[in-house]
Structure 1
Amino acid sequence: MRVGAHVSIAGGIDNAVGRQLDVGGNCGQIFTTSPQVWAHPEIDAEEAERFREETNEKLDGPWVIHSSYLVNLCTPKDDLREKSIASMQAELDAAERLGVEFVNVHLGAHTGAGVDGGLENAASALDALDVPEGVTILIESDAGSGTKLGGEFDHLARVLELSEQELDVCVDTAHAFAAGYELSTAEGVEETVAEFDDVVGLERLRCIHLNDSKHARGTNKDEHAHIGEGLIGEEGMETLINHPELREVPLVLETPTEDGRSYEWNIERVRQFRAGA
């Protein structure tokens, strides 16, 4: 079972490996820079080599780099589009240096361009990137508030169809639930997985952000909860974790640190759900 968490790179990106082990993970996710500012990764050769070596020795993988929150692939604004492309290219180049397989990105908001226009903007922005061999861009599902795109599986499928890049998908369970997909019951999980397979294709699902939700289905509110403790709940989480079509997909947690519970508690909870199946 491949399960891990989003961990800090404070003090050096190679420190992420030890932090992943500390919480009981064997794969995981990182930011290479602050996700709140336009900044490119600064990773020296020795740091990158230590990260690669320790990952190969101690983890099962994969690692995922999460792109900056400022990136907006759907934007109709030229300046934001250019900044977003430059930021994504820097993350892809960092992934190549680090031996990281995936770079994860939200589509962003169309801000008036319309759904079709926004999806076309996203595909063309992605096509402007030079994706290194061995690195794959993952389009992440969204909670779908305002003009943000990616809340519907059809949005993801459309970008995969429009883009010339070899893209795949990351589904965030809290986002999908907030966007209206039923994940709180075993029947709902089955229906949602079947719909994803029909619209996008399960072969394109390369990572799951496994998060419970503090808000009800269809509210478009993105706030994560501890595994099994939110509105998705135990039945939904246990079904997701043990679904035969999802068992081999890496699970990356972005659960909160509160109520005396951190990533370690949540990863152990995932393993208990798997063991109890």
Structure 2
Amino acid sequence: MRVGAHESIAGGVANAVDRQLEDGGNCGQIFTHSPQVWQNPDIDDDDAAAFRERSTEHDVGPWVIHSSYLVNLCTPKEDLREKSVDSMQREVDAAAQLDVPYVNVHLGAHTGAGEQQGLDNAVSALDELDVPEGVTVLVESDAGSGTKMGDDFAHLGYVLEESAQDLEVCLDTAHAFAAGYDLSTPEGVDETVEELDAEVGLANLACVHLNDSKHECGTNKDEHAHIGEGLIGEEGMSAFVNHPDLVDVPLVLETPNEDGKGFAWNIQRVRDLRAD
């Protein structure tokens, strides 16, 4: 079972491996820089080598780089589009430097251009990237507030179908739940997995952001909860992590650090649910 968390790279990217091991994880995700600002990854070769060596030594992987929150692939604004493409290019290059196989990105928001135009903007922006060999861009499902795209699995399927890139998908359980896919029951999990397969293809599901939700299904509100303690709940989370079509997909947690519970607690919670 591959389960881990989004770890900090404070003090050097190699430290993320040690933090993952401390939390009991064996795969994970990082930001290469603060996701709230336009900033380039700055990873020196020695730190990158240490990250690769520690990951290999302790069998921690796959890793995912999460792109900046400022990236908007759907935008009709040329300046934002250029910044977004440039930022993504630097992320896929950093992934190659670190031997990280995946860079995860949200489609962004069409901000009034319309859904179809937004999706076409995303496709053309992604097609501008020179993605290094061994790196794959993952398009993440979204909660869908405002004009954000990716809340409908059909959006993800369209981008995968139309892009010249060999893209795959990251499913976020809290986002999907907020977008209206009811994961709180075994029946709901089955229906969601069936729809994901129909729209995207389960063969293209490379990673799952496993998060519970603090808000009701269909509210488009994105706020994560501890595994089994949100509104997806224990029954839904157990059904999801034990679903036969999902058992080999890496699970990355972005759960909160509150109520005396952090990543270590949530990772163990997932392992306990799988054991059940």
TM-score, normalisation: structure 1: 0.99
Give 1:260's aligned residue: 260
1:79-90 alignment, distance < 5 Å = 79-90=79-90
Equivalent residues in 2 for 1:201-240 (5 A)?
201-240=201-240
Deviations 1:78-98 (A, max 9, x none): 000000000000000000000
User: Do the aligned partners of 2:30 and 2:64 also contact (CA within 8 Å) in 1?
Assistant: yes
Q: What is the root-mean-square deviation of aligned Cα atoms in Å?
A: 0.4
Task: Work out the CA distance in 1 between the residues paired with 2:108 and 2:6.
Answer: 21
1:119 deviates by 0.2
The residue that corresponds to 1:192 in the other structure is: 192
Query: Residue 33 of structure 1 aligns with which residue?
Result: 33
Corresponding position: 1:10 with 2:15: no
State yes or no: 1:173 paired with 2:173: yes
> Distance between the aligned counterparts of 1:68 and 1:22, measured in 2?
26
Equivalent residue of 1:134, what SS?
Answer: coil
Equivalent in the alignment of 1:127: 127
Q: Distance in 2 between matches of 1:68 and 1:60?
A: 23
Q: Which amino acid aligns with 1:263?
A: F
**CA distance in 2 between partners of 1:17 and 1:42 (Å):** 17
How many Å apart are 1:59 and its aligned residue?
2.6
Indicate the residue corresponding to 1:157 in structure 2. Answer: 157
SS in structure 1 of the partner of residue 170 of structure 2: strand
CA distance in 1, matches of 2:30, 2:181: 27
| CA-CA distance at 1:161 after TM superposition | 1.1
What amino acid does structure 1 have at the position aligned with 2:102? F
Read off the aligned partner of 1:104 and give its amino acid letter. Answer: N
Q: Could you tell me which residue of structure 2 aligns to residue 249 of structure 1?
A: 249
> Which AA in structure 2 matches 1:42?
D
Deviation at 1:275, TM superposition (A): 0.8
CA distance in 2, matches of 1:164, 1:113: 22
Tell me which residue corresponds to 2:48. Answer: 48
Please give the secondary structure, in 1, of the residue aligned with 2:4: strand
* Structure 1 runs of 4+ with >3 Å offset: none
Q: Distance in 2 between matches of 1:221 and 1:152?
A: 15
Structure 2's unaligned 5+ residue stretches are none
* Secondary structure class of the residue paired with 1:149: coil
Q: How many corresponding residue pairs?
A: 276
Counterpart of 1:95, as a letter, is A
Whether 2:87 is the aligned partner of 1:97: answer: no
SS at match of 1:148: coil
Identity of aligned residues (%): 71
Give the 3-state SS of the residue equivalent to 1:105 in structure 2. strand
Work out the CA distance in 2 between the residues paired with 1:184 and 1:250: 20
User: Structure 2 counterpart of 1:89, which letter?
Assistant: Q
Q: CA deviation at 1:162?
A: 1.3
Alignment of 1:44-83 (within 5 A): 44-83=44-83
1:60, distance to aligned residue in structure 2 (A): 3.6
Q: Could you tell me which residue of structure 1 aligns to residue 106 of structure 2? A: 106
2:21 corresponds in structure 1 to 21
TM-score for the superposition, normalised by structure 2: 1.00
Is the 8 Å Cα contact of residues 17 and 60 (structure 2) preserved in structure 1?
no
Deviation at 1:199, TM superposition (A): 1.1
For residues 30-77 of structure 1, the C-alpha deviation after alignment (integer angstroms, 9 at most, x for no partner) is 000000000000011101000001001113410000000000000000
